[in-house]
C-alpha cells in the first residue's frame, strides 16, 4: 500500500515538473534521486581502483542525474531509475575519459594482454598465474600488478556491452531480423554459453568478484568488505577476470569466423 502511494506521489511530482519546470521541484528531484548517483558511482568504482576518488565519481554522476531529470519523459512508461542510471554511468565514464589520463599505449597493452591470456591459457591448459603472464612479458610480478592497476579503465565496457558491440558480424541495419540472420543470433548464443563456461573456469577469487559484481550487484566497497582485501586488489582481480574472458571470447570469435 505504501509503495503504491509512493508511486502515485512520484508520478504527481514528475507531472508537476513537466508542466512547470519549476527550479524548486527540480531541486527536490535531485535530492530525491541523489542516492542513485552514489549507488552507480560505488559500482563503477571497480574499474578505477585508486586512480579516481569516489567523491569525484559522485560529482561527475550528479551532472548525469541533472541531465536525466531534464530529458526524462514520464509518458514513455520507463522507470526513471533505469533511465537515470544509464545517464549517470555515461556522465561518469565521459568525465573520466575527458581527463585523458589513459595513454593509447595502455589501451593497446590491454588488448595485447587479452590475447596473451587466451593464448597462454590455451597453451598451458589451465588458468595462467601472475607469474606465468609476467614471465611471458619479461617483467616482474610487481610490474605486472602495476600494469593491471593502470589499465583498469580499459576494461570499462561491461561483458554484455562487449558481446553487443563485437559479435553481430556482417549484419547490416536492414538485416536484423532473426529470420534473415539466424546464424548471427546462434553465434551470439554460443558465445554467451562460452562466456558462462569461461566464468566457471576462472580462478576462485576472480570468479567470486565477477559473481558478486555482475550477479549480486554489489559495489566495490561491499565486495572489498566481503573478501577482506583492499579495494585496489578487488579492481585488479576484476581486471584480470575481464582480460581472461575477453581474450577467450575473441579467440572463439576468430575460430568461428575462420
Q: What is the CATH number of the domain that holds 175?
A: 1.20.140
Check whether residue 78 and residue 122 sit in a common domain.
no
Q: Which of 138-142, 161-165, 167-171, 213-217 has the lowest mean pLDDT?
A: 167-171
Q: Tens of pLDDT along 80-103? A: 999 999 999 999 988 887 775 555
Residue percentage of the chain with pLDDT more than 90: 49
Res. 186 pLDDT band, cuts 50 70 90 = low
pLDDT number for residue 180: 43
pLDDT number for residue 173: 35
**pLDDT for residue 160 is more than 90:** no
Domain limit, last residue, from 64, 99, 134:
99
Q: Which of 85, 95, 96, 99 is nearest to 38 (CA)?
A: 85
Check whether residue 182 and residue 223 sit in a common domain.
yes
Domain interval for residue 43:
2-99
Angstrom distance (rounded) from CA 215 to CA 193: 16
Number of domains in the chain: 2
pTM of the model: 0.72
Domain limit, last residue, from 84, 99, 114:
99
| Cβ contact 52:97 at 8 Å | no
**pLDDT for residue 171 is more than 50:** no
Domain limit, last residue, from 59, 74, 99:
99
User: How many CA atoms lie less than 13 Å away from 48 in the CB half-sphere?
Assistant: 21
Check whether residue 73 and residue 119 sit in a common domain.
no
Check whether residue 246 and residue 163 sit in a common domain.
yes
Check whether residue 131 and residue 249 sit in a common domain.
yes
Angstrom distance (rounded) from CA 158 to CA 114: 15
Check whether residue 121 and residue 236 sit in a common domain.
yes
Q: For 62-110, give the DSSP string.
A: HHHHHHHHHH--GGG---HHHHHHHHHHHHHHHHHHHHT-S-HHHHHHH
Q: Which of 199, 190, 194 is nearest to 238 (CA)?
A: 199
The whole-chain average pLDDT of the chain stands at 82
Check whether residue 93 and residue 142 sit in a common domain.
no
Check whether residue 239 and residue 116 sit in a common domain.
yes
Average pLDDT (143-149) is: 88
Sorted by sequence, the CB contacts under 8 Å of residue 71 that are 6+ apart come out as 87
Average pLDDT (139-146) is: 92
Q: Which of 38, 246, 81 is nearest to 156 (CA)?
A: 246
Check whether residue 160 and residue 204 sit in a common domain.
yes
Amino acid at each position: 500500500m505504501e509503495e503504491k502511494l509512493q508511486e502515485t506521489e512520484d508520478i504527481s511530482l514528475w507531472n508537476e515538473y513537466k508542466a512547470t519546470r519549476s527550479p524548486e521541484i527540480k531541486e527536490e528531484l535531485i535530492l530525491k534521486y541523489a542516492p542513485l548517483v552514489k549507488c552507480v558511482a560505488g559500482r563503477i568504482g571497480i574499474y578505477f581502483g585508486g586512480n579516481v576518488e569516489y567523491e569525484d565519481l559522485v560529482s561527475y554522476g550528479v551532472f548525469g542525474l541533472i541531465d536525466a531529470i531534464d530529458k526524462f519523459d514520464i509518458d514513455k512508461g520507463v522507470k526513471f531509475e533505469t533511465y537515470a542510471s544509464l545517464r549517470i554511468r555515461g556522465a561518469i565514464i565521459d568525465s573520466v575519459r575527458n581527463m585523458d589520463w589513459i595513454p593509447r599505449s595502455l589501451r593497446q597493452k590491454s588488448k595485447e594482454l587479452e590475447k596473451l591470456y587466451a593464448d597462454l591459457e590455451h597453451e598451458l591448459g589451465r588458468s595462467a598465474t601472475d607469474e606465468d603472464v609476467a614471465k611471458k612479458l619479461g617483467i616482474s610480478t610487481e610490474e605486472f600488478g602495476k600494469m593491471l592497476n593502470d589499465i583498469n579503465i580499459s576494461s570499462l565496457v561491461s561483458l554484455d556491452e562487449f558481446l553487443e558491440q563485437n559479435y553481430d558480424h556482417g549484419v547490416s541495419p536492414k538485416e536484423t531480423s532473426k529470420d534473415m540472420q539466424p546464424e548471427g543470433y546462434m553465434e551470439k548464443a554460443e558465445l554467451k554459453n562460452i562466456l558462462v563456461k569461461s566464468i566457471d573456469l576462472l580462478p576462485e577469487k576472480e570468479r567470486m568478484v565477477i559473481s558478486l559484481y555482475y550477479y549480486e550487484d554489489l559495489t566495490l566497497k561491499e565486495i572489498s568488505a566481503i573478501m577482506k582485501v583492499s579495494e585496489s586488489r578487488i579492481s585488479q582481480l576484476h581486471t584480470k577476470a575481464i582480460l581472461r574472458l575477453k581474450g577467450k571470447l575473441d579467440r572463439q570469435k576468430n575460430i568461428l569466423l575462420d
